[in-house]
Structure 1
C-alpha cells in the first residue's frame, strides 16, 4: 500500500508540475503524464516477487534498485515517446529525466528503508539473522550520503526553478505586473519547497524510525540480560553498525550463558556429591535423592497451576527447589555413626540427637548463604534442610513452626520425604505399599502436612508411583 501511495503522489506531482516547467509538456494532457507512472507501478508489483527471492543480505539494495530503475525506465520511455511523437527539444527531455530521477530517488530510498524495517521484523519472527560475512555498509555513511543528496537536489531544483522563471520573464517576453510575477514565482517556490522538503522529512523520519527500532532491540535484550535472562538475542537485521553491535551483544550473551551453564553444572555436580556423602553414611540410598526431588517437582508443578501459587512457583523457582531438594538431609553428616546407623529403634535421647540434623544442615548452608551476596538456590536449600521436619500443626522440629510460617519448599519436601520413607525398605521396617503410604499421609493432612499439598499429592499419585518404579533401590 505504501508503494502505491508513493507512485500515485509522484505521478500527480509530475503531471501537475511537469507542464509548468516545460512548454512541450504543457501541451500534453495531464493523464498522459500521470498514467505512465501508474503503469510503472503495475509492472513493479508484477516483478516485486523477485526482490523477495533475493538472499536476505541483498533484499534492501534490490528493493532500492528496483524502484529507482523503474522510475528511470519510465523517464526514458517518456523521453523516447516525446522524441518520436513531438520531436521534443533536449531541454524538455533533460527536465523529464531530472524530475523523474529525483522523484525516483526519494521514493526508492523510502521504500528501501521500509523494506529494511520489514526484513528486521521478519527475521525476529522467524528467529533468523543476517550473515555479516558479506561486506557491511555503514548506517552513518548512508545517512550522510542521503543528506548530501537531499541538499544537492534542493539546490539544483531551486536553481532550475529560478533559471526557468528568469527565462520565462526575460527571454520569452512574458508581460506581467511586478505583483503578478512575484506571486507566480512565490507559488512555484512554495510548491517546490513542500514537495522536496516533504520527501526529505519522510525519509529522515524513516531513518530515525529504523534507528529507534534497532536501539530498542538492543536495549530490550540488555534489560532482559540484566534481569538474568540469557536466552534472548538481538536480531541481526542490517549490515551496518547496528548489525555489528547486535552480533557483538549476542556473542557476549552467549559467552555469559556458557559460563552460567558451566557454573550450574559444577553446582549440580557438587550438590549430588554432597547429598551422596550424606546418604552414604545413612541406611538410605542414592535413589532416595532422585525420587524425592522428582516428587517435589511434581507437587510444585501441579500447585503452580492452582490459584494463588503461580507467582510463588514460577518455572525458575521450581527448578531451584528441584535442584536444592537433595540437600534436605545434608545435616546427617554431623550425626554420630552409632545413632545414624543404628539398626533398631532409637532411644529418646538418641532421637533428640538425630533431630539436630535439620539445624546442622541449616547452619552449614547458612555459612554458604552469608558468603554469597544473592543466591536463591542456597536460600531454598537452607529452607528445605531446616524446615522439612516441621509440621503443619506446630509439633515438628527444630523450631516448632506451624502453618504457612513453614516455607512452601519445605512443606513440599515433607510429603516427598515421608512418602519415600514409607514405601522404602529399611533395616527397622518393611516397605509399605503405595496405598498404605497414601493412607498414612492423608491422615496427616492438617496436622503433619499442609492440606493443600496433600490435595496436590492425591492428584499426582500416579506420577509418584511411576517415579518410585523408575528409580527403584538397587540392592
Structure 2
C-alpha cells in the first residue's frame, strides 16, 4: 500500500485570504443593499487592506508561537477586524447597528472557518512529519465529540448569521421602502440570503473535505504500518501528535511495534547464539577453527549476492533468503559431533573404512537438524541449515555423498556451501597439506567446474573472488598462508 505523503503549503493560507477579499468585495458591491452604494474599487481597496493586515498579523503570531495560531486567537483577530470595519462604516457612511453587527459576526465566522481549515491543514502536516517523541496520551477529547462540537458550532453560527441577514434586510425593507414591496426588493433580500448561505456552505464543504482527508491519511498510515508489520517490517512508526482516538491508537501501535521489534531482536540474538554454539561444538572437536565458520558463511553470502544478478536466481535469492543462508551456514558440519575422535582427530590420511564413517557426518547433521525442524515448525533457518548439512558434499556430476544427488537436484544452498567449504579447505593449513594460495585454490575450483561444482556458482565465484580474498584476510587463522600470495 502506498503511503500518503503530504507537505504543508503556505499557498493554502494565501488562497484563503485572497478568497476572503473577493467574497467581501462581491458581497459589498453586488449583494448588500447598504454597501452596494460604494464604488467596487473602494470596496476592493478596503477589503484588501484589512485582509492583508490580517494575513501579516497571522504570520507574526505564527513566528511568535512557532506554529499555527489557536482558533480562539484567530477568531478574536477577525472579530476585532470586523469591529474596525463596523466603526469605519458607521462613522464614514452612517450604517445602522444591525448592519454593523452583521459585519462583525460575518468577519468572526469567516475567521472561524479559515482557522478551522488551516488548523486541520497544520495537523495533516504534523502527522506527515512526526517528531520522534511518542508520549503516552492522558487526556483527550474523543474525535466524535470534536466533530459533533464543530458541527454544532457551525450550525449555530450559520443560523445566527442568516438570522442577522434576514433581520437586517427586513428592517431595511420597512425603513427604506415607501411604496408597496416589489419583486425587486424581494429579489434583493433572497440574493443576499443565498449568497451568504452559499459562501458558508462552500467553506463547510472545504473544511469537511480537509478533515476527511486528515482522518483518511491517519487511517491509511495505520493500515500501512500494520501491513508492513504483518510482513515482518517493524520499523514503521506512526505520528502520535494527532488529537483524539487516532492519537491514542497511534501511540499504542508504536508501543506494540517497539515491543515486537525488541522481542524479534531478542529471538534473533538467541538464534544466532544457538547457531554459533552448535557450530563451535562441532569445530572444537575437529582440526578446524572457529574462523572457518566466519569465513565460509561470508563466502556463501558473497556468492549469493553475486549469483542473484542472474535473472534465474534473482527472485529466489532475496535479502531475507541470503540472510538465512548466512546465518545457517555455520551448521554445515554439525554432524561431526557424531564422528569418533579416533577418526575425526586422526593426524594422517584416513583409511577407506574410516572415510566411509567420516562421510556419515553429512547425514548425521541433516538428521539432527531435521528432527529439530520437525519439533519446531516454521523456523526457516533450520530448513536451510538441514539442506546445507545434508548436501554440501554433493557434487554437480552426482559423484558426491551422502545421496549422490546431481545438478539442480542439489539445493542451491548446498551448491553454494560446497564451493565455499572447498575453497576454505584449500587455503587453510591442514596436518595432511599446506595452505594453498588463492590462485592455486582458484585453479582447482576451475578444474571442478561442471563436475564438482555448479558452473553458475563457479562463475559467481570468479565475479567476486576479490571478496573471497578480503574475507580470508579478515578472518585469517594463525599460520594461514596469505590468500593474496602467488
TM-score w.r.t. the length of structure 2 is 0.88
CA-CA distance at 1:411 after TM superposition: 1.5
| Aligned residue among 454, 461, 466 for 1:462 | 466
CA-CA distance at 1:157 after TM superposition: 2.5
In structure 2, how many angstroms separate the alpha carbons of the residues matched to 1:439 and 1:100? 88
In structure 2, how many angstroms separate the alpha carbons of the residues matched to 1:257 and 1:70? 48
In structure 2, how many angstroms separate the alpha carbons of the residues matched to 1:130 and 1:88? 54
Counterparts of residues 27-46 of structure 1 (less than 5 Å): 27-43=37-53, 46=56
Q: Secondary structure at the match of 1:248?
A: helix
| 2:114 alignment partner in structure 1 | 107
In structure 1, how many angstroms separate the alpha carbons of the residues matched to 2:243 and 2:413? 49
| Aligned residue among 9, 20, 25 for 1:10 | 20
Q: Secondary structure at the match of 1:81?
A: helix
Structure 2: unaligned runs, 5 residues or longer = 1-10, 480-486
Q: Secondary structure at the match of 1:353?
A: helix
In structure 2, how many angstroms separate the alpha carbons of the residues matched to 1:39 and 1:432? 88
| 2:484 alignment partner in structure 1 | none
Contact 2:105 2:161 in 1 (8 A): no
Contact 2:292 2:424 in 1 (8 A): yes
Contact 2:140 2:243 in 1 (8 A): yes
Indicate the RMSD between aligned Cα atoms, in angstroms: 2.7
Contact 2:20 2:51 in 1 (8 A): no
Are residue 342 (structure 1) and residue 346 (structure 2) matched?
Answer: yes
Contact 1:36 1:74 in 2 (8 A): no
| 1:233 alignment partner in structure 2 | 237
Counterparts of residues 311-350 of structure 1 (less than 5 Å): 311-350=315-354
| 1:89 alignment partner in structure 2 | 96
Q: Deviations over 1:145-179 (max 9, x none)?
A: 21011110222133223323433444544645676
| 2:36 alignment partner in structure 1 | 26
Moved more, 227-236 or 161-170: 161-170
Q: Secondary structure at the match of 2:129?
A: helix
Moved more, 129-138 or 231-240: 129-138
Counterparts of residues 11-410 of structure 1 (less than 5 Å): 11-18=21-28, 23-43=33-53, 46=56, 50=60, 53=63, 59-60=67-68, 62=69, 64=71, 67-123=74-130, 128=132, 138-173=142-177, 175=179, 183-410=187-414
Structure 1: unaligned runs, 5 residues or longer = none
CA-CA distance at 1:459 after TM superposition: 2.3
In structure 1, how many angstroms separate the alpha carbons of the residues matched to 2:363 and 2:326? 21
CA-CA distance at 1:180 after TM superposition: 5.5
In structure 1, how many angstroms separate the alpha carbons of the residues matched to 2:446 and 2:294? 23
Contact 2:301 2:322 in 1 (8 A): yes
CA-CA distance at 1:270 after TM superposition: 1.0
Moved more, 33-42 or 434-443: 33-42
Contact 1:15 1:34 in 2 (8 A): yes
Contact 1:40 1:70 in 2 (8 A): no
In structure 2, how many angstroms separate the alpha carbons of the residues matched to 1:41 and 1:421? 82
CA-CA distance at 1:260 after TM superposition: 1.0
Cα 1:162–1:51 change in 2 (3 A) is: closer
CA-CA distance at 1:474 after TM superposition: 4.2
Cα 1:138–1:214 change in 2 (3 A) is: same
Q: Secondary structure at the match of 2:67?
A: helix
In structure 2, how many angstroms separate the alpha carbons of the residues matched to 1:186 and 1:42? 31
Q: Secondary structure at the match of 1:59?
A: coil
CA-CA distance at 1:340 after TM superposition: 1.6
In structure 2, how many angstroms separate the alpha carbons of the residues matched to 1:216 and 1:112? 20
4+ aligned runs moved over 6 Å, structure 1:
132-135
CA-CA distance at 1:245 after TM superposition: 1.6
Q: Secondary structure at the match of 1:308?
A: helix
CA-CA distance at 1:236 after TM superposition: 2.5
Cα 1:392–1:136 change in 2 (3 A) is: same
Q: Deviations over 1:67-93 (max 9, x none)?
A: 545533432332232244234432232
What count of residue pairs does the alignment treat as equivalent? 469
CA-CA distance at 1:225 after TM superposition: 0.5
Moved more, 17-26 or 269-278: 17-26
Contact 2:32 2:192 in 1 (8 A): no
Contact 2:31 2:191 in 1 (8 A): no
TM-score w.r.t. the length of structure 1 is 0.90
Contact 2:394 2:405 in 1 (8 A): yes
CA-CA distance at 1:250 after TM superposition: 0.8
CA-CA distance at 1:337 after TM superposition: 2.0
Cα 1:115–1:31 change in 2 (3 A) is: farther
